[in-house]
Amino acid sequence: MKDTPKVTTLHEQYTKEKTLANIREQKRARFIHMRKTAIMVLGCLALLFTSWPLVKNHQKTVEYRQQYKESQEQLAQLKEEKDNLEYQVTLLENDEYVAKLARSEYHLTKDNEVVFKLPNKSEESEVEQQNKEEKQDDAADDTQE
């Protein structure tokens, strides 16, 4: 067994005062710590409440910038379409162009006019290719007989 020394407390006025002073000091330290913590929490809450509108404004700014970018792209497309339509209007104001368009698109003719449609180069090459294939088939049939 360990021998533990026994400590006896003195019941004097001085020790009682020192013990009470020590307890008061601990309570005061705890109170100061709690007060510091409360001030920090309230400060953080105040900072949060004051900065929240800034965060919202930043989000709105980002949204508005995106909308502005999309609007600028749409404006560019509409300007291009407008230029194209203005060009078509100037073409349609030309009587020769309108007559050419009516003949080519709607197959209209003037009185006593005969229209001959000539094949395009791509159509000519397809016809030539078919003719070559037919000649080769005919030649192969002749050699088999």
Mean pLDDT of the chain: 85
Residues 6+ apart with CB under 8 A from 102: 108
- The rounded Cα 7 to chain-centroid distance in angstroms is 78
User: What is the CB neighbour count within 10 angstroms for residue 3?
Assistant: 5
* Residue from 79, 60, 59 nearest 71 by CA: 79
- Summarize the confidence of residues 30-37 as an average pLDDT: 97
Residues 6+ apart with CB under 8 A from 107: 115
Per-residue pLDDT band for 10 (boundaries 50, 70, 90) equals low
**Residue 127 pLDDT:** 67
**Residue 133 pLDDT:** 77
Identify the residue whose tokens are 């609007």. 71
**Residue 14 pLDDT:** 86
Choice between 27 and 133, residue whose per-residue pLDDT is larger:
27
**Residue 16 pLDDT:** 87
Tell me the CA distances in angstroms from 46 to 8, 37, 49, 51, one per residue in order: 53, 14, 5, 8
Angle at 102 between CA 88 and CA 127, to 5 degrees: 110
pLDDT tens-digit readout, 42-97:
999 999 999 999 999 999 999 999 999 999 999 999 999 999 999 999 998 998 88
- Summarize the confidence of residues 6-29 as an average pLDDT: 86
Three-state SS string across 8-25, please?
A: CCCCCHHHHHHHHHHHHH
